[in-house]
């Protein structure tokens, strides 16, 4: 299947870096990180179940190796098309393999069921026809080519877009069908008050100070650092559109139509427990099968070896029992954003006004980015 483009927002160089990093990380990610991230996916499923969705597909931007695609397909009895999108070709290969395996098993079961084929009325057979599950190589920061969608579900992909995340989230909301729902789970810049992710952020700040010839930062610098600018602005474009839609609602009600906009139904943190065999194993997974592999590719092995030594020093140093074999537990918190597109018909001019209203907060967010926690890791 050819790569699909839908007005991508991400620069070509970053797309290429993330494609390579996640393609190389795909198998280890699927084995080690996907199971640890599953509680947040189950949370997203619970959010979906609380809404009655309109007709349309379920889109899964940043789907990774596709571990969520088949469960989402089963959630709606196979009656909704599910499309996973990811810029990593390696991730999509794994997703397609899982889909093909499931399809083959289903076909084998159908063939072995005597008398199953052709039973029922034509209407019943049509109702039983399964919608496809697909995995597409695409820049998931824009979904225009795949909507309107009944639902958008994304677990731990949006934060990788950093300063572009507010615009991407707004795009996902606009690609919903009226009544459609988006459930987006992302890692904020600080996911815990103590634990290995916070330790890594502190290491990054200390390493940056050394490289710049500056005094070392306080030992709690990562814990008290301000959130990144894009996090503060994440829902600003959506809220600007919602405010514009509310202003038009009275006029459109007179005309017999409801305003079209995207409501932010929820924006909260949700923590779950996570465990690792050791801090050393955590480092291996995050740098070989996780988001820090891109840092390894961008900065080189020497830089990562330095960071590895600094990280290990926080746990007694390389070769220590504390670092190499002591179990590691922590409780990271992810940000959960739930959106819903209001019903009704909006005029072309009105939509242009809402897009223009959204442009200012996005531009301000990009200006603020230079003042944010740019040295810290984005998970």
Distance from CA of residue 222 to its chain's centroid?
23
Q: Decide which of 52 and 359 is more confident.
A: 52
Per residue in 250-308, pLDDT tens?
555 555 444 568 999 999 999 999 999 999 999 999 999 999 999 999 999 999 999 99
Question: What architecture does CATH give domain 11-103+131-189+228-275+333-344?
Answer: 3-Layer(aba) Sandwich (3.40)
CA atoms of 229 and 226, how far apart (whole Å): 9
Would you state the structure tokens that stand for residue 206, as one six-digit string?
């200390």
CA distances from 181 to 146, 197, 264, 298 (A): 15, 30, 10, 36
Per-residue b or e along 221-244, where b marks 16 or more CB atoms closer than 10 Å to that residue's CB: bbeebeebbbbebbbbbbbbbbeb
The strand pair at 262-271 and 333-341 is best described as antiparallel
Show me where the domains of the chain are located. Answer: 11-103+131-189+228-275+333-344, 192-226+278-326
3-state secondary structure 3-42: CECCCCCCCHHHHHHHHHHHHHHHHHHHHHHHHHHHHHHH
Where does residue 178 fall: left (phi above 0), alpha (psi -120 to 50 degrees), or beta otherwise?
Answer: beta
Q: Residue 303: its pLDDT value, please? A: 93
- Look over the chain and give the mean of its residue pLDDT values, rounded to a whole number: 84
Give the count of alpha carbons within 13 A of 220, CB side only: 4
Per residue in 143-172, pLDDT tens?
999 989 999 999 999 999 989 999 999 999
Q: Residue 158: its pLDDT value, please? A: 95
CA atoms of 131 and 78, how far apart (whole Å): 6
Q: Are 282 and 196 in contact (CB under 8 A)?
A: yes
pTM of the model: 0.83
């Amino acid at each position: 299947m050819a790569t699909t483009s839908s007005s991508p927002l991400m620069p070509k160089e970053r797309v290429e870096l993330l494609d390579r990093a996640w393609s190389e990380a795909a198998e280890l990610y699927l084995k080690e990180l996907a199971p640890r991230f599953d509680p947040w996916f189950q949370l997203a499923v619970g959010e979906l179940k609380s809404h009655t969705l309109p007709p349309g597909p379920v889109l899964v931007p940043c789907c990774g190796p596709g571990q969520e695609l088949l469960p989402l397909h089963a959630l709606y009895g196979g009656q909704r098309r599910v499309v996973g999108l990811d810029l990593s070709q390696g991730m999509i290969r794994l997703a397609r393999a899982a889909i093909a395996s499931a399809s083959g098993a289903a076909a084998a079961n159908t063939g072995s069921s005597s008398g199953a084929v052709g039973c029922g009325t034509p209407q019943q057979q049509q109702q039983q026809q399964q919608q496809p599950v697909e995995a597409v190589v695409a820049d998931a920061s824009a979904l225009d080519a795949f909507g309107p969608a009944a639902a958008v579900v994304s677990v731990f992909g949006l934060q990788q877009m950093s300063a572009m995340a507010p615009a991407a989230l707004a795009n996902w909301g606009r690609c919903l069908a009226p009544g459609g729902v988006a459930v987006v789970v992302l890692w904020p810049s600080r996911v815990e008050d103590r634990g290995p992710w916070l330790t890594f952020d502190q290491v990054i700040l200390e390493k940056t100070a050394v490289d710049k010839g500056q005094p070392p930062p306080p030992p709690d610098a990562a814990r008290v650092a301000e959130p990144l600018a894009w996090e503060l602005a994440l829902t600003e474009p959506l809220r600007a559109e919602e405010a514009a839609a509310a202003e038009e609602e009275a006029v459109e009600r007179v005309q017999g139509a409801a305003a079209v906009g995207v409501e932010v139904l929820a924006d909260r943190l949700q923590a779950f427990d996570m465990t690792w065999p050791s801090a050393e194993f955590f480092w291996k997974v995050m740098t070989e099968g996780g988001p820090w592999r891109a840092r390894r590719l961008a900065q080189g092995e020497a830089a990562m070896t330095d960071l590895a030594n600094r990280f290990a020093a926080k746990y007694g140093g390389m070769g220590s029992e504390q670092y190499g074999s002591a179990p590691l537990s922590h409780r990271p918190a992810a940000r959960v954003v739930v959106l819903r597109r209001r019903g009704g018909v909006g005029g072309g001019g009105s939509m242009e006004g809402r897009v223009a209203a959204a442009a200012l907060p996005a531009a301000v967010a990009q200006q603020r980015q230079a003042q944010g926690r740019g040295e810290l890791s984005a998970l």
